[in-house]
Every structure is written in C-alpha cells, then in structure tokens.
Homo-oligomer: A and B are copies of this chain.
Amino acid sequence: MARKIAYALGMWLLLQGIAQGEDLTMKRAQAIFKPIPSKAPDLKDNRSTAVKLNLGKMLYFEPRLSASYLISCNSCHNVGLGGVDLQETSVGHGWQRGPRNAPTVLNAVFNVAQFWDGRAKDLEEQAKGPLQASVEMNNKPERVVETLKSIPEYVALFKRAFPEAKDPVTFDNVARAIEVYEATLLTPGAPFDRYLQGNPKALNVSQRQGLELFMTKGCSNCHNGINLGGEGYFPFGVLQAPDAEIRPSGDLGRFKVTNVASDRYVFKAPTLRNIALTPPYFHSGKVWNLRDAVQVMSSAQLGNQLNSDEVDKITAFLVALTGKQPKVEFPILPRSSDMTPRPMLD
C-alpha cells in the first residue's frame, strides 16, 4: 500500500514537474514572441478605409502598374504561395533576375522596415521600389499616374479613397493604398500562435522541444517578436562565414544603406512566419530545404552547436509557424480607355 502511495506520489510530482516545465516554456515564449493578430494594425499617417483598402487590393493585383502590363505586386508576392514566388531571386521585366530573394508580403507590416537591407521605412515606401526597378516592374512614376488617370474607374476610386486630395491620383497615393491592403495580409492562427495564446497542446512534443532550443540556443536573439524576425539587423555569419554561394561576396547588405563598415553582410533578420511555405531561403535564395537552412544558421550564427536531433526539432518548430493564409477575392480590374498607354515590352 505504502509502495503504491509512494509510486502515485512520485508520478504526480513528475507530471507536476513536466507541467511546470511546460508552463515555464510557455511563459518564456510569451515574453519573447507575440501572436499574429487577426486585424490589421493602424498605420502611421495612412488611415484605412473600406474604399482605400479595396483600391489597394486592385492595385496589388494590377499588372498595368508595370511597364509591360505583365507584372503585378502579386507576381512576386503571390498571396496563394505564402506571399512569395518560389524563385531564388525574383524574375522581372524582360525575364531579368533580380538581386535578392523576394521576402513574403504576409505579416510584413510588422517588420521594423522593408527589404532585406531595411532601406524602406515602411510598406508605402517599399511599394515604390519594385514599381520602378528596371529588373522588376520597370515603370516610371509619371507613367503609372498616366495609366491610372486614363482609366475612369480608377480616377473615381482614387477620389473616394483620398477625398481631401486635390489631385488624388498620385504615385504616393498608389503606394499608400497598396500599403493599406498589404497591412491586411496577415496569417493568424498558426499552431505556435494558439500555443502563445495559452493552449499547450497546440504544439506537439518535437515542436515544443524545438521551441525550447530556439530560445536557449540563441535563435530567438534575432528572431523574436511578433514576426520571429523583422525587428533588427544582424550580421549573416556571426561565427563563421557562410558558403560564398549562400552569401555572395558582392551583396554587402545593409552596408549599402548605411555605409558603415560594421554593416557589411548585415541583413534584417527575416520573419520566420510561414517559413515552411517560402523556400528557397536566405537573401540569395540558394538553400531550398528548411532543415538545411537551419543547419546553415547553426554553423554561421551559432558555431555549429546544434546536433542533428536539435536541428530536426527546430525545423519541426518552424513548421508550426504556418498560419491561416488570407482569403482574397480576386479583384475585377477596370477596363482601359483609348488614352491608356500601350504595354512596353522592351
């Protein structure tokens, strides 16, 4: 009898201990990370309204914003493909390859700044980049405005979306409307979010162990906050330079923005949200397998301190970062008019 009591007590203490350990992991995680909300955050100086949001969505899917009329925001940031294009580096005007891997648009509003090097302070500023980049949409602000002004339905929508503007169809307002739409492209409800919201069973055992490793081994030093990344700039290759294929010597990252020597090969830590959906990885897009990417980080950032089992578990945890993908009704775009410029393919 006494034996049975001792056994039961032992079991109880063990389970309590595990439960407390689980509880501590969750508390720690809740201090480091935040779940993705289901609603878009308020934007600085860019109030969301239903009409602006709708316009922004149309513009996001509008190939006539590119010189060729073949490329829209959604071409490289495909909302059906985790907000990316599954290319090493994006392909744009004239089938040219861009210099870096397309970051996901999903949850991008929570990043401290945009692009791998953070050169755009927000999504509004970001949107203006690809529109004009010769290897992307290859357009000019004046031509974007000329195209939109030639389409009566767009003129009416801009008037309603920017009611205080004298001349509402401007390049700035194109970017503002797109920002309002992009801010709604959120993926709440990932297993990890449900875990952060207090459900210990939302992660399976390996995922929870992966989370623990993620926090104890140092991953969360750079990949933290709501986006598990996107909050700061860090050298790629803290302890060991990655292969030259993965970190091409010609791309100095944030150095090009700040011109500060210590910013050589420094990049914004990318969000790990939906990372299982968005291969290939790194700014070079040279690593296709998620486990391989974790291995690269282990050697480059942590000096190879993760064993194979630990890499597996962290990979399992990363898969738990896949949230509910946004429901998007494909916008019906207005017809061109006789004044609309012709597509330019060359």
A333 touches B94 (CB 8 A): no
A234 in the interface, Cβ–Cβ < 8 Å? Answer: no
Q: Which residues of B contact A345 (CB under 8 A)?
A: 87, 91, 95, 97
A330 touches B328 (CB 8 A): yes
Stretch among A62-70, A117-125, A244-252 lining the B interface: A62-70
Give Cα A335–Cα B276 distance, bound, in whole angstroms.
8
Q: A59-88 CB contact bits vs B (8 Å, 1 = yes)? A: 001011000111000010011111001110
Give Cα A333–Cα B79 distance, bound, in whole angstroms.
9
Q: Which residues of B contact A336 (CB under 8 A)?
A: 86, 279
A331 in the interface, Cβ–Cβ < 8 Å? Answer: yes
What DSSP secondary structure best describes chain A's contact surface?
loop
Give how many A residues have a beta carbon under 8 Å from the other chain's beta carbons.
38
Q: A265-286 CB contact bits vs B (8 Å, 1 = yes)? A: 0000000000011010000000
Give Cα A277–Cα B338 distance, bound, in whole angstroms.
12
Tell me which of B63, B82, B86, B277 contacts A69 (CB under 8 A).
Answer: B86
Give Cα A288–Cα B337 distance, bound, in whole angstroms.
9
A70 touches B85 (CB 8 A): yes
Instruction: Give min CB distance, A307 to chain B, whole Å.
Output: 21
Which chain B residue has the least Cβ–Cβ distance from A325?
A: B332
A343 in the interface, Cβ–Cβ < 8 Å? Answer: yes
Which chain B residue has the least Cβ–Cβ distance from A330?
A: B328
Give Cα A144–Cα B68 distance, bound, in whole angstroms.
27
Give Cα A68–Cα B336 distance, bound, in whole angstroms.
29
A330 touches B333 (CB 8 A): no
A27 in the interface, Cβ–Cβ < 8 Å? Answer: no
Give Cα A345–Cα B86 distance, bound, in whole angstroms.
12
Tell me which of B85, B94, B277, B330 contacts A335 (CB under 8 A).
Answer: B277
Give Cα A335–Cα B279 distance, bound, in whole angstroms.
9
A3 in the interface, Cβ–Cβ < 8 Å? Answer: no
Q: A73-115 CB contact bits vs B (8 Å, 1 = yes)? A: 0010011111001110001001101000000000000000000
B95 touches A333 (CB 8 A): no
Give Cα A289–Cα B340 distance, bound, in whole angstroms.
11
A330 touches B95 (CB 8 A): no
A-B contact pairs, 28 of them (CB 8 A): A63-B78, A63-B81, A63-B85, A63-B86, A68-B91, A70-B75, A70-B85, A78-B333, A79-B330, A80-B330, A80-B331, A86-B336, A87-B343, A91-B345, A94-B95, A95-B95, A97-B345, A276-B335, A277-B335, A279-B336, A288-B342, A289-B338, A325-B332, A327-B330, A328-B329, A328-B330, A329-B330, A330-B330
- Closest 9 pairs (CB-CB, A-B): A95-B95, A328-B330, A325-B332, A80-B333, A277-B335, A330-B330, A94-B95, A69-B86, A80-B330
